[in-house]
Amino acid sequence: MAMTRVAAPPRPPAPSRAPGAPLPPAPSRHRLAAAVLTAGALVLAFAFVRFTVDDAFISWRYGRMLAEHGVWNWNPPGSALVEAYTNPLYTALSAVPALLGVPTEAFFKVVGAGLAVGHVLVVRRLALPYRRKVLLWAVVLLNPVSWVHAFSGLETASFALLVALLFGWVYRRGSLHRWGHVVALAVALSRPEGMAYALVAEVWALAVSRRRADLRGALAVGGALGCYWLARWWYFGKFFPNTFYEKSTGKDNWIDALAGLPVPVLLAGAVLVGTVVVGGVLVLRRVLRADSGGRASAGSNDRLRSATPLVLAALSAALFLGLYQASQLAVTFCGRFPWQVLFPVALVVLARPAGERSVRWPAAAVLLAAAAEALSSGAVDASALLAVSVCAAAGWILCRGGLPGRGGRGPAVLLLGGALAVSVSVTGPRELGFALTERHRLAHAHGALARAVEADPSLNGPLAMGDAGLAPYCMSADRPVFDLLGLANPAVGTGTVPGQFAAGRLSALVTQAQPGDPEGLRYVNGAARPVHRAALDAGFERLGSVAYTGSRRLELYAPPGRGARAGEALALAARAAAREQGLSDVALFRRHLVDFPFLRGC
């Protein structure tokens, strides 16, 4: 007897939610994930919110000068102009709290927390599987390094998140649209290399979308950046920022050779490089053209869009292995420089559109980024071995096109993005201990020295300092300060020391000494050595010192017969600092568990 199959009745449509009706309750696993993410984020934020790196105060001094003197400079009116910052966006933002009378350091803690909130909201809007959203949240919110960089006062975290947002926009939408061009401009004004990211993203978005709106946006962004560069060149009188000359002074350095070229040659080279990039994109477009009517097919556009993670990884690897390795980078806590260019690759890979068929482009991007990290390590350590392991996993997925089993593409993306995010975020306990306690050590050394100098009227006048950050920021905005280390040194790039910092006009000299270097020459760059040497040769007397970290200490010198009150105050501060600076990071953190220096100010 023949059997007949009876068709199942059609499934009734899901009831639609009326406008204004409450949302259905989230599944229990979603609530559990939200609770874990929130709790972990709050614990890490509580631990690292007290961290501020000393260099952040260099940029914030510009906002203070603008508020108190109406001049955009590191020093008060009448001083030589100097561009000591690499982050125009954060430096300009520092003027907001200064003009409003709000503590600048506390303001940037709010900015750091806002970065985390912004990341959560952006990911929440993405049409992605919930597991991928959780991982995108976790690699930021449960990552100690993310919080360290968010609260450091530098642009590291904002730069990484903006780069990921910019290229993620192209990857998911195939175009930048209006707000994407605004993000490109923000990336370009976050760091000098941000201009490369912005221009590459604009050109790539134009190649993918071929929309007139993207062409107009690219021209607007390029024109705005050109105007900004010319304006700052006219204002400060140097084609490059001061930090470029300071960080590219190594011998046999291609950046050194570049800095020595005439400006017309540099401009011609920039035009040539831009032409090559645009020409390369046009050639790639021609290769991917469809045969019909000479117009590119949607498939070729989709292939270009799918390659966006690899474009980002190639640019990041080139900058990391080229520009960064050729530069003298000093403020490198918690893997700052590899993190800010390679972490965005992980975020963009995890943001892979749900309808994307191939995982080979993301795999190639992760392979390239992890290879750059492994090549830069220079040693066989845990970080290098982890990077090599990520390379191996990415290479295997690249060859197979996914993980074994049905539906292996989704888990492959989770593995690729998560592994790269972990690899570039791995840091040792010493680095994390530094982040937990550095602000307390700065307060007991640099902050105490600034208070001692300010309390002595005989030391009013210009000052030269070998570790200029918090201390000059805490001093009067009327006091000119000569940065012996170089970032805010107007003599860098010119070799000419302003007359106001001649030895006969200095009221004090501050050096950072350590065993084997009693004069603190390690923290004096070549252009500042004449000022340092002239002060010591003029008979400046040592008034005292205060411990900073371990064997390093700040030494205060003044002209003969001056600074007695400052010496007494520094002696008291030194005794208090000795009790603090001798503690381990763990002990110091426990002692100041509920102490937040940014609430006290200087």
Q: Give the tens place of pLDDT for each residue, 235-272.
A: 998 888 887 777 665 434 444 555 555 666 566 666 65
Structure tokens belonging to residue 159: 């730069």
**CA separation for the pair 432, 35 (Å, rounded):** 25
Helix ranges (DSSP H) in 70-176: 88-93, 95-100, 104-125, 130-141, 144-151, 156-173
> Which residues on neighbouring strands pair with residue 510, listed in sequence order?
465, 556
> Which residues on neighbouring strands pair with residue 87, listed in sequence order?
none
**For the chain, how far is it from start to end, CA to CA, in angstroms?**
94
Structure tokens belonging to residue 16: 């639609």
Helix or strand run (H / E) with residue 316: helix 308-318
pTM value is: 0.86
Give the DSSP letter string of 75-99. S-TTSPP----S-HHHHHHTHHHHH
Q: Residue 444 carries which DSSP code?
A: I
The per-residue b/e assignment along 89-115, b for 16 or more CB within 10 angstroms, e otherwise, is bbbbbbbebbeeeeebbbbbbebbbeb
**CA separation for the pair 309, 361 (Å, rounded):** 7
Residue 175 DSSP SS3: coil
Helix or strand run (H / E) with residue 443: none
Structure tokens belonging to residue 426: 């791995």
**CA separation for the pair 507, 34 (Å, rounded):** 56
Q: Which residues contact 162 (CB under 8 A, 6 or more apart)?
A: 183, 186, 187, 190, 194
For residue range 369-393, what is the model confidence (pLDDT) as tens digits?
A: 988 888 876 655 677 788 888 888 8
Residue with tokens 């614990």: 43
pLDDT, position 395: 82
- For 533-599, the three-class secondary structure string (H helix, E strand, C coil) is HHHHHCCCEEEEEEECCCCCEEEEEECCCCCHHHHHHHHHHHHHHHHHHCCCHHHHHHHCCCCCHHH
**CA separation for the pair 364, 354 (Å, rounded):** 18
pLDDT, position 72: 95
pLDDT, position 276: 54
pLDDT, position 350: 93
> Chunked in runs of 10, what are the mean pLDDT values of the chain (602 residues)?
47 48 60 90 96 93 93 91 90 94 94 96 91 93 96 95 95 88 94 92 89 86 92 89 69 49 61 59 48 44 85 92 73 86 95 80 90 75 79 81 63 86 90 91 91 91 86 91 82 70 80 78 74 82 85 88 89 86 87 88 72
**CA separation for the pair 497, 505 (Å, rounded):** 13
Amino acid at 282: L
Residue with tokens 């192209």: 170
Burial of 72 (0-12, 13-18, 19+ CB in 10 A): middle
**CA separation for the pair 158, 146 (Å, rounded):** 10
Structure tokens belonging to residue 267: 């401009």
Residue with tokens 């991982």: 135
Distances 535 to 484, 493, 563 between C-alpha atoms, Å: 12, 22, 15
pLDDT, position 296: 44
Helices 409-425 and 336-350 sit at what angle, rounded to 10 degrees?
170
Give the DSSP letter string of 355-400. T----HHHHHHHHHHHHHHHHHH-S-SHHHHHHHHHHHHHHHHHHH
| Cβ atoms within 10 Å of 3's Cβ, excluding its own | 4
Distances 277 to 102, 199, 259, 504 between C-alpha atoms, Å: 45, 10, 22, 53
pLDDT, position 14: 46
Distances 430 to 261, 374, 433, 443 between C-alpha atoms, Å: 41, 21, 5, 20
pLDDT, position 330: 66
Q: Which residues contact 522 (CB under 8 A, 6 or more apart)?
A: 512, 514
CB 323 within 8 A of CB 255: yes
